[in-house]
């Protein structure tokens, strides 16, 4: 891969995209899994796959005449941080995470959508951008449009705080890892987050919120519940496919509503 890391016109070193390839896209949908890029892009108009480099698979589509990029981030905060850095250089302004998640509150059902207002920074990447006292909070206008889009489609959703962990097992207090050991600092943490009203665990949102905020950009996070940990860890047949479709439909409607709102404000 050629390109200069800091050159805003060149092909970006990690994601393999240039400004010209984005056709002016200011919105990006960010699933973690590269295999979700195609299905999400299929809900856009005139979509086409661009490139895959490392964990970053990308496709470009449209909502009406609005160009929208779909790009995977891979798993976790470090690769998400790289994606935000390089996309920002290419002119992307609005970042919408589309993820899957495990809920930790008993009132949340499989298939529900969780729209995060803020995130517990239980990962290290955001600390390279802002001190721990700096909050990981969503963009209010963009998040409001996500809520409106979920209501438009009559999808069940929850709003609140998520917890972004740097690990899938010990940081989320899972004991079915290879060693079965969880550090003392994480023992009992699941119950503590439940008491504090945290809705779910995932691995990217707090880095997204923190980095976007420090860059003066706008971010929202929408996750679909594929496991409810108060009931068990298994993913029921059909839930994953249902969640992917709901994420894509809400994301598309979010762009339509947000672009209309932003255009009206400018007008």
In sequence order, the 6+-apart residues with CB closer than 8 A to the CB of 239 are 110, 111, 226
Alpha carbons 208 and 66: distance in angstroms, whole number: 23
Alpha carbons 101 and 98: distance in angstroms, whole number: 10
Does residue 146 contact residue 257 with C-beta atoms inside 8 Å? no
Does residue 224 contact residue 111 with C-beta atoms inside 8 Å? yes
Q: Which residues are identified as catalytic?
A: 14, 86, 174, 229
Whole-angstrom Cα Rg for the chain: 18
Compute φ and ψ for 232, nearest 5 degrees: 150, 180
Long-range CB contacts for residues 33-40, cutoff 8 Å, separation at least 24: 33/72, 34/72, 34/74, 36/72, 36/98, 36/244, 37/70, 37/71, 37/72, 39/244, 39/245, 39/248, 40/70, 40/98, 40/244, 40/247, 40/248, 40/251
Distances (CA, A) of 78 to 9, 73, 184: 23, 9, 24
């Amino acid at each position: 891969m050629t390109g200069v890391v800091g050159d805003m016109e060149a092909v970006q070193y990690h994601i393999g995209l240039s400004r010209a390839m984005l056709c002016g896209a200011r919105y990006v949908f960010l699933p973690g899994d590269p295999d979700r890029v195609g299905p999400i892009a299929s809900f856009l108009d005139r979509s086409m796959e661009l490139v895959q480099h490392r964990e970053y698979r990308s496709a470009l589509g449209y909502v009406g005449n609005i160009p929208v990029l779909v790009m995977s981030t891979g798993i976790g905060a470090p690769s998400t941080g790289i994606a935000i850095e390089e996309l920002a250089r290419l002119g992307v302004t609005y970042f919408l995470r589309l993820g899957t998640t495990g809920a930790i509150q008993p009132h949340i059902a499989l298939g529900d959508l969780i729209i995060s207002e803020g995130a517990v920074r239980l990962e290290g990447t955001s600390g390279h951008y802002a001190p721990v006292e700096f909050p990981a909070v969503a963009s209010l206008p963009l998040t409001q449009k996500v809520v409106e889009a979920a209501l438009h489609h009559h999808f069940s959703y929850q709003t609140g705080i998520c917890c972004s962990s740097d690990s899938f097992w010990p940081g989320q207090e899972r004991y079915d890892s290879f060693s079965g050991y969880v550090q003392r600092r994480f023992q009992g943490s699941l119950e503590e987050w439940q008491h504090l009203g945290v809705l779910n665990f995932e691995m990217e949102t707090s880095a997204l919120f923190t980095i976007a905020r420090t860059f003066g950009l706008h971010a929202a996070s929408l996750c679909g519940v594929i496991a409810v940990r108060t009931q068990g860890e298994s993913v029921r047949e059909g839930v994953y496919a249902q969640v992917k479709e709901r994420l894509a439909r809400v994301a598309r409607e979010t762009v339509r509503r947000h672009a209309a709102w932003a255009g009206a404000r400018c007008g």
